[in-house]
Chain A
Amino acid sequence: MDFSFSKEQVFFREQFTKTLNEIVAPHAATIDQEDAFPHEIFKKIGNLGYYGMRYPQEIGGMGADCTTFTIFAEELASVSISFAAIATMQCLMGTDFLFRFGNRDIKERVLIPAIRGEKIGTIAFTEPDCGSDLGAIKTRAIKKGDVYILKGRKLWITNAEVADFVTVVASVEPAKRINGLAFFLVEKGTPGFYTGQKIEKMSARGSVTGELIFDECTIPASNLLGEEGKGAQYLESILSEIRVMIAGLGIGLAKSAYRSAVMYSKQREAFGRSIGNFQLIQDKIAEMETRIRSAWLLTYYAAWLKDNGKQAKKEAAMAKLYSTETASFVVDQATRIYGSYGIAHEYPVERYFRDARFLLFGGGTSEILKTLIARECLKT
């Protein structure tokens, strides 16, 4: 058994951390305050090639394994959940189906510029009336000759107001529910494609979230990504990777909150001693560190399974569940250690506290994940 990262992975983490400290960290608080998409930072990280990291070298990527991608997520989140949401969307959900199913034109015109940070992407399956239950998707895609006509609304869409392109999940055969879904590429400027309201929210601010409206939106049939009816299957095929990635985000955020809390415990004095001397504060520190380490083990174990071609469905779900719940637990404990300062905008722990909530929903809510884990357990 060997729990260490490879030299390459260690080096990657080091380089990426330096890059983040230079380009993102100084603006993390401002991104949160202003709740506006950080275009300049987005471009800078894109120009360095990071959005292509999962893709092969021929198209400007680095062919990174799941472990390296998880390191990427972890380090992003320890600096800024807002930017982490943007960057991981661009690396994975926002571009993956273009990479897998896009024709040459789509790859050259949309995917490659996206990898360079010149175009912003996103994915849209959630609707005002459905999130977890994808079978209830109401957005319709109707084929007419060599075009598809899309009709429906999507809500809670990352980057909605700034996206240059979106992978839309729509139903081609509503009666088949989840087996009637298909993926389509829709680009900004397509007639009948509009952005709607922006959602004001407390977490991952700056990763703007909003509504997309498809009103008789007409796209060429060649914008169908993959095959009709296989949407759910396609989504399923990257869900484990998404979950491990989000678990990585949880670890990164939790670690930052934990580090702040430990530092504060040593500095802050009460009753003539630093508060870290009190057993009840020590209890929090021990709990935080133990849970973070457990989440870490589960997450990188799931990544290791994936990298070794092994089934990781249950492990990825457990990693996402445990790591994101741990992040929520840790930010709570950390802000308690900060006392009243824990709710002051001036301290990053307050931002960590708000940001942790973001991790609980995408990639499956805790309830959905538990259902899935239990189902896997009961199978045997």
Chain B
Amino acid sequence: MNILVFIKQVADTEARILIKGDNRSLEIENKYNLNFFDEFAVEEAIRFKGKVKDSKISVCTYGGKKAVEALRTAIAMGADQAYLIDNTDLDTDDPLITAKILAGFAKKEGFDLILCGRQAIDDENGNIGAMVAEFLKIPHVTAITKLDVVDEKKIIVENDIEGGKETKEVQLPALLTTQKGINEPRVPLITGVMKAMKANIPVIDPVTLGLAKESLDRNASKIKILSYETPKGRPPVKIIDGETPEEKVKKLIKLLREEAKVL
């Protein structure tokens, strides 16, 4: 079986991020990681491969040249092959375009199962998986927390719903996005790290995926980022004074009512 995993390289949660002068682009400290939710997808693919013989895992990202590091991480964990679809000069604000490109890749590569993280922790769009599935006209389940194989045509998945969980039967081929809790992503073995260090990762030009360049560039974007803002700083801490605890509590309640308006 062909398992595809779509991944994204994102800024580390501790990386310093500054908004550039134009307010529309970011300057990100050189600290990147494989997206948190995508680690679950890679791990699940490896476990799936363990259950269904003759499976092969290909990971793919649409990103800049640097994103090859995230692909190598996936290989270190256990993926067989990786592909970088190079977005140089094509970087878009519109996830629909990204989804179109990934779907184009999936069609070309062939697949039985596609996994990806439920969302990227940088832009938090959370819609790539669903859109790729739509382009490919295949079933899709979001944020799964369990994946069981029935046979080569059928799987059972679980996802969390308000107050409980839901179990679904899904026909393959299908696209699933992974949620935290589905597994414990592995720390790569040194042999995996070595394999990843040496892996030859083909770079794909998106126009070779049967998509016209005009349909991929900035002008084709139906969504454009206008500006970024940093969150407001927290208001200063207020220390409540008073002679006795009773007096302090009284003052606190008054403030919670009148200033914070939470009571």
Binding site for B on A (CB under 8 A): 7-8, 11-12, 14-16, 18-19, 22-23, 47-50, 52-53, 57, 62
Contact = CB atoms under 8 A, between A and B. Distances in A.
B209 interface: no
A36 to B, nearest CB: 23
Interface stretch (B130-138, B148-156, B182-190): B182-190
Given A15-B73, A15-B76, A48 B187 contact: yes
B69 A48 contact: no
A62 B191 contact: yes
Contact of B193 (A15, A47, A52, A57): A15
Contacts of A49: 189-191
Nearest to B33: A18
Q: Report, nearest first, the 7 A-B pairs whose CB atoms are least far apart.
A: A49-B190, A8-B197, A62-B194, A15-B193, A49-B189, A48-B189, A19-B187
Contacts of B189: 47-49
A22 B187 contact: yes
User: Is the contact region of chain B dominated by helix, strand, or loop, or is it mixed?
Assistant: helix
A23 B197 contact: no
Nearest to A23: B187
Interface centre among A16, A52, A62 (most CB of B within 10 A): A62
Nearest to A8: B197
9 contacts: A7-B197, A11-B72, A15-B73, A15-B193, A19-B187, A23-B187, A48-B189, A48-B190, A62-B193
Nearest to A19: B187
B27 to A, nearest CB: 19
B187 A11 contact: no
B198 interface: yes
Interface string B57-76: 00000000000010011001
B198 A8 contact: yes
A319 B198 CA distance: 30
Residue of B73, B190, B194 most packed against chain A (CB within 10 A): B190
Interface residues of B, number: 14
A53 B193 CA distance: 11
B5 interface: no
Contact of A19 (B188, B197, B198): B188
A52 B188 CA distance: 15
Nearest to B187: A19
Contacts of A14: 69
A53 B197 CA distance: 14
Contacts of B73: 15
Interface string B174-214: 00000000000001111101101110000000000000000
A173 B201 CA distance: 58
Nearest to B197: A8
B63 to A, nearest CB: 16
A78 to B, nearest CB: 15
A48 B193 CA distance: 10
A294 B245 CA distance: 58
A11 B69 contact: yes
B236 to A, nearest CB: 15
A63 to B, nearest CB: 8
A12 B187 contact: no
A49 B189 CA distance: 6
A53 B187 contact: no
Contact of B188 (A8, A15, A57): A15
A48 B197 CA distance: 16
Nearest to B193: A15
